[in-house]
Amino acid sequence: MKKRILLVAVLQLFIVFNSCSGPESEPAVTPEEPPVVVIKTAKLTSYSKNSGETGETVSIYGENFSEKVSDTKITFDGVAATIVSATATEIKFTIPKTEKVLPKLQLTIENRTISNEIKNDYEGNIGILPVHSLTEWVAQENTAQYDVARGNIQMINDKIVYIAGSLRTFDGGITWGQWARGGFSLEAHATKNDEGWASSTELTRMTKIKAGGDLGNNIFANIANTTEVYYCIYVDDNMKDGTVVTQKGRVFTTSNGVDFTKVYELEDDTANLFQSTKIDNDHMWVIGYKKIKDKDGFNLERPFILFKNNTTDGWKEYPFVNEAPGYYAREISFVDKQNGFLLINHYYNALLDVKLFKTNNGGDSWSQIYDGEMFSKFTFKDVNTGWAILDNKIYKTTNGGTTWTLDYTHDQTIGNISYKNNVVWAFSKDKIIKRYL
C-alpha cells in the first residue's frame, strides 16, 4: 500500500514538473527582406533615319526598352504610330500622317515618358513627309515662311530646292535655311556643291556664296562700276565660268570667276529685263520689255527677249513688235536647249489677255499656242507635259500647251510652281504641294 502511494506521488510530481517547464522555446525567426528590384532607365540613342514618309518603317535604338509591344507607345504631336516590334534595344514603328512636317516625338514605356536626348538636326525629332504618291497631289506644311511668288525656284533634285537663292532646303522642305543675304527680287544661281553667286536690288554687286550659305556681305565683283541689278546669273560648278546680265541688257562673262568682260550691250537703256532661265553659259534667256518701234513708227514698250542659244552666234534680241504696248514677257521655261515656253501678259493687269508662246529652235522664233485661262506661273516636264497655276488651281497640259485641264484645286492661292527630276513643287502660303511622276 505504501509503495502504491509513493508511486502516485512521484507520478504527480513528474506531471507538475513537466507542466511547469513547458515545451522548449524555439529561436525567433527574422523575416527575410524582399529582393531589391533595380529598374533600369530606358534610353534613346538614335534613329535608323531622321526623316521619312508616312507609312515608312523606322527604328528607334536605345537601352532598356520593354520587349512587349503592348507596353510601348510612340506619338508625334499626339498622333500614335503603329508599333511593329519591340526588343530591349530596338523599337520598330510605321510613321503616321501628321499635320506638321516636324512634330514632337514622344516615347512612352509602361506609362512612363522616356526622356529623349537624341541630338540631330531636328532637335531629337523625326521629320515626316507625305507619302510618295504616284496617283495624286500631296500637300505638306510650308515652313519656308517666304513670299515664293516673288522669286525663282531652282530645283537641284527632289530634296534640294532654292527659293530666289535666299532660302534652301536639303530635306524636301522639312526645314529651310538662309543661303544668301535676302532682299527684294534676289537673283542667284546655286551649283550642285551648294556654292554660287547672288545679287539683289538692295545690293547691285555680286556676292560669292560658299557651301553652307553666306549671310555676310561677301562682295567679290562690282562689274564695270555698274549700279544696275543682275536679273540673270549663271556660274558653272567650278565657280569660274559664268555669265551675268543686267536689268538694262548688258552681258558680262568670266572664265576665272574674278575678272568680267562685257560681251554684249543693247543699243539704248529702254529695256527692263527682270526674269530669266538658263541651262548653261551658252543657253540663257532673259525677258522683260523694251521700247520698240512698231509698223506705224510708234516707239512703245513691248515684250522683249535677250538670249544666247548656241556656242557660235553670240547674243541675240527677239522683240515682239506685233504685240500691243503695255504687254511684257513675264515667265519663261525651257525643257531643253531647243524647246521653250513664254508667258506674256499686261504690265498693270497680270491677268489681262494672257498669252502663251512656244519655240522649238532655242528662241529664234516664237508662235502663240494659247490664250485661255489667265495663268500666272507655269512649268514643263517636256515638250508635251506641263502645269500652270491660276489662283488656287493647277492646270495640266499633255499636248504642249495647246489645251489645258484642271488637275488640282487647293484651299489657298498658289504662288509658284516648278518641276525637276519627276516631281512638281507648288507653293501656297501654308503648304508645299507636290506631284510625283
In this predicted structure, what is the pLDDT of residue 181? Answer: 80
Q: What does pTM read for this prediction?
A: 0.86
In angstroms, what CA-CA distances link 1 with 9, 12, 244?
13, 17, 147
Q: Say what the pLDDT of residue 17 is.
A: 44
Domain residue spans of the chain = 43-129, 181-265
**Pairing mode of beta strands 367-370, 138-141:** unpaired
In the numeric block, the cell 527574422 is attached to 30
Give the model's pLDDT for residue 38: 53
Each residue of 94-127: b (16+ CB within 10 Å) or e? Answer: ebbebebbbbebebebeeeebebebeeebebbbb
Q: Give residue 332's pLDDT.
A: 96
DSSP H helix total and E strand total for the chain: 1, 38
CA distance 309 to 165: 24
Ordered alpha helix ranges (H), 235-336: none
Distance CA 156, CA 170 (A): 10
- Tell me if 392 sits within 8 A of 415, measured CB to CB: no
The pLDDT, as a whole number, for residue 16 is: 42
CA 389 to chain CA centroid, nearest Å: 19
Question: Do the Cβ atoms of 108 and 72 come closer than 8 Å?
Answer: yes
For the chain, list residues with pLDDT below 70: 1-39, 147, 149-150, 182-185, 201-203, 216-217, 221-222, 224-226, 348-352
DSSP helix/strand/coil, 425: strand
pLDDT at position 424: 97
Q: What is the pLDDT of residue 323?
A: 86
Quote the pLDDT of residue 225.
65
Return the pLDDT at 203.
65
Q: In 5-95, which ranges are E strands?
A: 43-47, 51-53, 57-63, 72-76, 79-80, 82-86, 90-94
How far apart CA 292 and CA 298 sit, in angstroms, is 8
- For residue 20, what is the DSSP state? H
Nearest to 254 by CA among 265, 264, 239: 239
pLDDT of residue 229: 85
What's the half-sphere exposure (Cβ side, CA atoms, 13 Å) at 137?
Answer: 20
CATH, range 43-129: 2.60.40.10
